[in-house]
Structures are given as C-alpha cells and as structure tokens.
Amino acid sequence: MEIRPPLIQVALDFATIEESLPVAEAAVKAGCDWLEAGTPLIVAQGVKAIGAIAKAFPAMPVLADYKAMDSGGKHVLVTQQQGAHIMTVCAGAADETVKAAVKAGKETGILVCADTIGVKDQVKRAKELEALGVDMIYLHFAADERRAFSSRDTVPWVAPVLEAVEIPVGVATFEIEDAVAAAKLGADHFSIGHPIVSSEHTYEKLKRYIDAVRAAHAPRRRAARV
C-alpha cells in the first residue's frame, strides 16, 4: 500500500460499532484517506469491530489501533483476517514484539505502524524503530496527557523526528491548529478523532480539518522512504 502525504486518518474511538459507522461515512464523504478502528472500539467490541468497518467501507484502507504490547505477529494476522490493512504496535513494546509484527507484516502485506504513546525520547526510539523495520512512525501525545497538559501536543516532536528518520511520520492531532502546524513542518500522516468527531456537525468540521491540512502541507525536506 502506497503512503502519499498528506494522508489523513479518522479515528473511530467510540464504544459501539453503531456509533462508529455514521462517523466513518461522514469521514469518507469529507475526503479522508484511512479509517481507524480505535483502541476504545476494539476494547469494547472486540476485533469484530475492525471487520465491521472494513466490510462497510471496502474501498477504504482500515487501520486496527491495538497499540500492541505483546504478540505483535498475532495482531498482524488478526488484522488480515478482519480485512484491514494497517496495525499499530506500541513503540514502547519490547523490540521482539516489534520484530514479530514486522516479520508478519512482510509476510501478509499488512503495514506496521509504531505508535509512540508514552515514549520519553521520541527521536531515539524513532531511529530504533526504523532500524527494526516498521513501515511508519506515529507521534502520539495521548488524550490523558492532553487533559493534564492542555497546551501541549505532538508538534514539537515533528521536526526532529522527520530529520532523524526516512520512513513516513504521522501525528496524532486534536484540532485544526496543531494539525496545520504539523503539516507546515512536513509531517506525512495526520490522525484526528475526538473532539472533532464527537461534536455536532461532524462532516463540516472534518471537511474543514481535511481541507486545512491539505492546503497547509509542505513536503518534508527529505522525501519519506515508503
């Protein structure tokens, strides 16, 4: 699967499949590139939620956001079985878990994205993850961190990580403002979920987000190796 920046992913972090599908429909209509079966959705509904999204939107790439900490290879196989295309492994997982996911990914064609949630040294771990063979790195300032530090986001990590690695670099975003800032720095991939998808007028807000990111995006100085 080719990653063509700027790639925009909408996170379906709901408790039920029934809540997720209308938002997924709005996201596709607004012009997103990937749909994400979010961690809360998978936890609440099991892996069938991944398959439900993939079945409802067969033309859309679907990411299974496990943030796997163990059994990386098994998570890749489940992703394939459910008809999805990308999975996440925690950047903080053991190297062996990352290697297992990468190995299974190469065997199945499933992309492996390393999510840096909780990582203290983003640049150091990004370099290590690239050497381990992941397809993409996803910089993640998490929801709990955002609640504790409302003025912070992933943007300060973008430039140094882009400089450190050649593979695509994604960012978790909360609003249009941090997404646009990351786009101007050359990030390759953008994920948006709450609060935009949980508010009124979801389609209109997603459309503004997607249009703003595409308009602001500047290609990174060194093109991503995909």
Q: pLDDT (tens digit, 9 = 90+) per residue, 73-127?
A: 999 999 999 999 999 999 999 999 999 999 999 999 999 999 999 999 999 999 9
- Domain ranges across the chain: 7-216
What confidence tens digit (pLDDT) does each residue in 32-78 have? 999 999 999 999 999 999 999 999 999 999 999 999 999 999 999 99
CB 38 within 8 A of CB 122: no
Contact indicator for 204, 176 with CB cutoff of 8 Å: no
Domain 7-216: top CATH class: alpha beta
- At CB < 8 A and 24+ separation, what contacts does 102-106 make? 102/72, 102/132, 102/133, 102/134, 103/73, 104/72, 104/73, 104/74, 104/76, 104/77, 105/76, 105/135, 106/133
Question: Is the predicted pLDDT of residue 226 greater than 70, yes or no?
Answer: no
* pLDDT, tens digit (0-9, with 9 covering 90-100), for 159-207: 999 999 999 999 999 999 999 999 999 999 999 999 899 878 999 999 9
Question: Which of the four pLDDT bands, split at 50, 70 and 90, describes residue 22?
Answer: very high
d(CA 120, CA 109): 30
